[in-house]
């Protein structure tokens, strides 16, 4: 194993990049900030790979250990509750740091070309550094509160990156939306943390899991735990934590921010909104998987269904969108839905834990091909200066490399063997098939749709009509852009061949990867069907698409309008929260509370004005008051207070 320092450097190097670029970038570094960031990222990626290699190859007694490399007390709440800053190495975290650093590195390189000549170039790299740091901190966290901290940090860095073009109102709106929606989910996460920590008496992942899952303490816990609305506190805790995850991972119904987040620069979408941050939710559930699986199977069930529903809905919507990045965004959502329900249908330990492995596996492969898709789309947009399919078509001549890699990615995601997506998806379907048929069918349907919309995208970008250039100059991406594409393409092609189950499994005991040809006929067939359909409709220019759309009628329209979920949110926030609650509060403050204060003032003055008459200026009247006062006193003391 590499030393603590080296491992600690993995997140710290990007941080250093952030600090340097952030403080001195604008004035002194300029463009070199990008190269600096990339160099640091490269170093960190190498360290990560080295760590992963040595972790998985290190001798272990048939079970991968959980190594707490570092555990510093950051904030001591009380005797047993404390936030620790730690580094926890176990299969998933190691796998994640590899993914994160690699994709981030690719994006760093790619952006050097993609954002050439941007005024805030250094700032951009600073943000990238910040994001990578936070993401690594998140995946390495050994303490649930540490996770929360970095969870927030990735949120804010994604906010900054979405709002990178801060002078575009749409970008501003998008970043605010993204932050607030995820923030809302984080609220759930926070309360969940409070409940879990209170139930387990610790914030440390290991201890928490062991306390909650171990038969005696866990059972005792469940019995004493206060129940609310008929569910045990623990159930609530797990559910709330999952809501946090759902928010980050854009699960239905908290997914609305993801499509808008595409306002950010495309490489950012590739990094954050495809490969890494959005899977944080999946990672979180995986991290606490024992708790979910052992203590609160009901919640796990919910996870499964939420995943499935998100998958199918996203897939349907994706079929109708024309903005290529939005299509990709919905596909991301749908794929994450896969991962989620894969976890949902899994059990803890042994063969039953297949779904867990599958989910992680899919996370891994998806990172590759989805990043690739985005970067490819980026290249296209870079070339066409538009996000809309209508402005594209026939680009395969102009962008050969992009075309090829994009094709690979599409095949991969469509689950065509022997590409990466095929294997992971097979495992997921298998797991679903074992434990929950309903979800299995949904998943099948989704995979068919996936193939369809991906190839709809592919054809309408690179085929359909011959490309007629319009608008200003086109620049072909330099090698800085094509390089990452190729590398990721290789990844997307061959990542699936890794015997993943051997490394990652729910109980960290290697799992034989079983692969059953007969089972995978159906999904592959569906996939191919989808592809053919897409080809029939979109391969060359025709009005078939519109005909189908017309035939679909209401369904198409509502799918096109994303099932009006945004509108619902609009209504709730604008109308109810702002207009009703907010205005009332402001009004109440101004009129009632403040009014009361002012009223006392005016009342006093009124009284003062009222009684001024008694000072009439007549001596004799004064004498009368004098006498009355005197008589009153006399009466009071002689008769009343005897």
By C-alpha distance, which of 523, 320, 508 is closest to 413?
Answer: 523
Q: What whole-number distance in Å separates Cα of residue 310 and Cα of residue 558? A: 16
Task: Say whether 227 sits in a helix, a strand or coil.
Answer: strand
Give whichever of 250 and 442 is closer to other proteins, judged by the CB atom: 250
Please pick, from the candidates 42, 70, 191, 487, the single residue that binds other proteins as defined by CB under 8 A.
Answer: 191
Give whichever of 190 and 565 is closer to other proteins, judged by the CB atom: 190
Segment near other proteins (CB under 8 A); pick from 162-170, 211-219, 291-299, 400-408? 162-170
198 touches other proteins (CB under 8 A):
yes
Tokens of 127: 């943000």
220 touches other proteins (CB under 8 A):
no
Please pick, from the candidates 179, 348, 361, 500, the single residue that binds other proteins as defined by CB under 8 A.
Answer: 179
Give whichever of 60 and 170 is closer to other proteins, judged by the CB atom: 170
By CB under 8 A, the count of residues binding other proteins is 82
> Which segments within 222-269 are labelled E, that is strand?
227-228, 231-232
Please pick, from the candidates 28, 166, 515, 536, the single residue that binds other proteins as defined by CB under 8 A.
Answer: 166
By C-alpha distance, which of 299, 527, 285, 305 is closest to 425?
Answer: 527
Give the nearest distance from C-beta 187 to other proteins in angstroms: 6
Give whichever of 519 and 626 is closer to other proteins, judged by the CB atom: 626
Residue-by-residue DSSP string for 375-398: HHHHHHHHHHS--BGGG---TTTT
Give whichever of 518 and 620 is closer to other proteins, judged by the CB atom: 620
By C-alpha distance, which of 367, 355, 339 is closest to 277?
Answer: 367
Residue with tokens 């078509």: 393
Residue-by-residue DSSP string for 7-72: HHHHHHHHHHHHHHHHHHIIIIITTHHHHHHHHHHHHHHHHHHHHHHHHHHS--SSS---EEEEEE
> Where is 100: in which H helix or E strand?
helix 91-114
Task: Say whether 231 sits in a helix, a strand or coil.
Answer: strand
Q: Where are the alpha helices (DSSP H) in 255-296?
A: 257-260, 266-270, 280-287, 289-290
> Which segments within 356-476 are labelled E, that is strand?
none
> Which of the residues 132 through 161 are near other proteins (CB under 8 A)?
145, 148-150, 152-153, 156
Residue with tokens 């590195």: 105
Give whichever of 5 and 577 is closer to other proteins, judged by the CB atom: 577
> Which of the residues 54 through 83 are near other proteins (CB under 8 A)?
73-78, 81, 83
Q: What whole-number distance in Å separates Cα of residue 560 and Cα of residue 578? A: 28
519 touches other proteins (CB under 8 A):
no
Q: By rule CB under 8 A, what string of x and - marks binding of each residue 13-52 to other proteins? A: -------------x--------------------------
Give the nearest distance from C-beta 382 to other proteins in angstroms: 24
Please pick, from the candidates 31, 68, 116, 176, the single residue that binds other proteins as defined by CB under 8 A.
Answer: 176
Give the nearest distance from C-beta 633 to other proteins in angstroms: 5
By C-alpha distance, which of 13, 86, 85 is closest to 48?
Answer: 13
> Which of the residues 558 through 577 are near other proteins (CB under 8 A)?
577
Please pick, from the candidates 585, 591, 599, 603, the single residue that binds other proteins as defined by CB under 8 A.
Answer: 585
Please pick, from the candidates 43, 190, 528, 533, the single residue that binds other proteins as defined by CB under 8 A.
Answer: 190
Contacts of 37 (CB under 8 A, 6+ apart): 14, 17, 21, 108, 125, 126, 128, 129
Give whichever of 77 and 564 is closer to other proteins, judged by the CB atom: 77
For the four alpha carbons of 296, 300, 303 and 309, in that order, the dihedral sign comes to negative
Please pick, from the candidates 197, 332, 387, 447, the single residue that binds other proteins as defined by CB under 8 A.
Answer: 197
Please pick, from the candidates 167, 216, 516, 546, the single residue that binds other proteins as defined by CB under 8 A.
Answer: 167
> Which of the residues 418 through 477 are near other proteins (CB under 8 A)?
none
Q: What whole-number distance in Å separates Cα of residue 23 and Cα of residue 539? A: 50
183 touches other proteins (CB under 8 A):
yes
638 touches other proteins (CB under 8 A):
yes
Q: What whole-number distance in Å separates Cα of residue 180 and Cα of residue 194? A: 21
214 touches other proteins (CB under 8 A):
no
Q: What whole-number distance in Å separates Cα of residue 304 and Cα of residue 293? A: 12
Give the nearest distance from C-beta 313 to other proteins in angstroms: 24
Please pick, from the candidates 28, 536, 564, 625, the single residue that binds other proteins as defined by CB under 8 A.
Answer: 625
Please pick, from the candidates 550, 575, 582, 599, the single residue that binds other proteins as defined by CB under 8 A.
Answer: 582
> Which of the residues 591 through 620 are near other proteins (CB under 8 A)?
593-594, 596-597, 601, 604-605, 607-609, 611-620
By C-alpha distance, which of 324, 365, 359 is closest to 345?
Answer: 359
Q: What whole-number distance in Å separates Cα of residue 37 and Cα of residue 34? A: 5
> Which of the residues 79 through 118 are near other proteins (CB under 8 A)?
81, 83
Give the nearest distance from C-beta 582 to other proteins in angstroms: 4
> Which of the residues 221 through 260 are near other proteins (CB under 8 A)?
226, 228
Please pick, from the candidates 184, 231, 441, 563, the single residue that binds other proteins as defined by CB under 8 A.
Answer: 184
């Amino acid at each position: 194993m590499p030393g603590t320092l080296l491992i600690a450097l993995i997140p710290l190097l990007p941080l250093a990049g952030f600090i340097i670029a952030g403080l001195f970038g604008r004035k002194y570094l300029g463009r070199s900030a990008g190269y600096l960031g990339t160099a640091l990222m490269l170093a960190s990626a190498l360290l990560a790979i080295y760590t992963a290699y040595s972790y998985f190859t290190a001798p272990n007694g048939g079970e991968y250990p959980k190594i707490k490399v570092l555990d510093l007390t950051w904030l001591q709440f009380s005797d047993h509750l404390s936030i620790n800053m730690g580094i926890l190495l176990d299969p998933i975290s190691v796998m994640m740091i590899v993914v994160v650093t690699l994709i981030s590195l690719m994006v760093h390189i790619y952006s050097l070309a993609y954002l050439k000549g941007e005024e805030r170039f250094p700032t951009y790299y600073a943000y990238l550094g910040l994001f990578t740091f936070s993401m690594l901190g998140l995946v390495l966290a050994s303490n649930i509160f540490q996770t929360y901290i970095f969870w927030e940090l990735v949120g804010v860095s994604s906010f900054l990156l979405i709002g990178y073009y801060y002078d575009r109102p749409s970008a501003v709106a998008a970043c605010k939306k993204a932050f607030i929606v995820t923030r809302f989910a984080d609220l759930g996460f926070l309360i969940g943390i409070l409940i879990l920590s209170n139930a387990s008496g610790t914030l440390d992942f290991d201890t928490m899991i062991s306390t909650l899952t171990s038969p005696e303490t866990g059972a005792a816990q469940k019995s004493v735990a206060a129940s609310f609305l008929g569910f045990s506190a623990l159930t609530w805790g797990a559910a709330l934590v999952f809501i946090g995850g759902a928010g980050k991972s854009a699960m239905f119904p908290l997914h609305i921010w993801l499509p808008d987040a595409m306002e950010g620069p495309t490489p950012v979408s590739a990094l954050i909104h495809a490969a890494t941050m959005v899977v944080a939710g999946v990672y979180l559930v995986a991290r606490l998987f024992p708790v979910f699986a052992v203590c609160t199977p009901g919640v796990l069930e919910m996870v499964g269904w939420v995943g499935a529903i998100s998958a199918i809905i996203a897939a349907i919507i994706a079929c109708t969108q024309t903005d290529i990045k939005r299509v990709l965004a919905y596909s991301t959502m749908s794929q994450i839905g896969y991962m989620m329900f894969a976890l949902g249908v899994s059990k803890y330990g042994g063969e039953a834990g297949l779904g867990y492995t599958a989910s992680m596996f899919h996370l891994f492969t998806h990172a590759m091909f989805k990043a690739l898709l985005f970067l490819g789309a980026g290249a296209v947009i870079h070339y066409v200066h538009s996000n809309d399919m209508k402005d594209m078509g026939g680009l395969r001549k102009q962008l050969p490399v992009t075309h090829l890699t994009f094709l690979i990615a599409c095949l991969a995601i469509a689950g065509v063997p022997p590409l990466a997506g095929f294997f992971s998806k097979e495992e997921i379907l298998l797991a679903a098939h074992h434990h929950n048929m309903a979800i299995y069918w949904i998943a099948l349907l989704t995979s068919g749709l996936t193939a369809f919309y991906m190839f709809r995208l592919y054809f309408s970008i690179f085929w359909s009509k011959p490309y007629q250039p319009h608008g200003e100059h086109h620049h072909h991406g330099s090698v800085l852009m094509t390089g990452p594409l190729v590398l990721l393409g290789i990844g997307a092609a061959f990542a699936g061949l890794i015997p993943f189950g051997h490394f990652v499994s729910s109980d960290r005991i290697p799992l034989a990867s079983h692969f059953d040809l007969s089972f995978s006929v159906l999904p592959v067939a569906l996939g191919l069907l989808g592809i053919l359909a897409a080809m029939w409709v979109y391969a060359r220019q025709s009005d078939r698409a519109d005909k189908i759309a017309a035939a679909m009628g209401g369904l198409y329209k509502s799918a096109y309008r994303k099932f009006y979920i945004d509108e619902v949110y609009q209504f709730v926030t604008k109308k109810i929260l702002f207009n009703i609650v907010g205005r009332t509060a402001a009004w109440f403050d101004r009129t009632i509370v403040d009014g009361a204060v002012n009223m006392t003032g005016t009342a006093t003055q009124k009284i003062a004005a009222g009684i001024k008459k008694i000072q009439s200026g007549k001596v004799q009247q004064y004498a009368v008051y004098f006498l009355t006062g005197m008589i009153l006193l006399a009466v009071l003391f002689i008769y009343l207070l005897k």
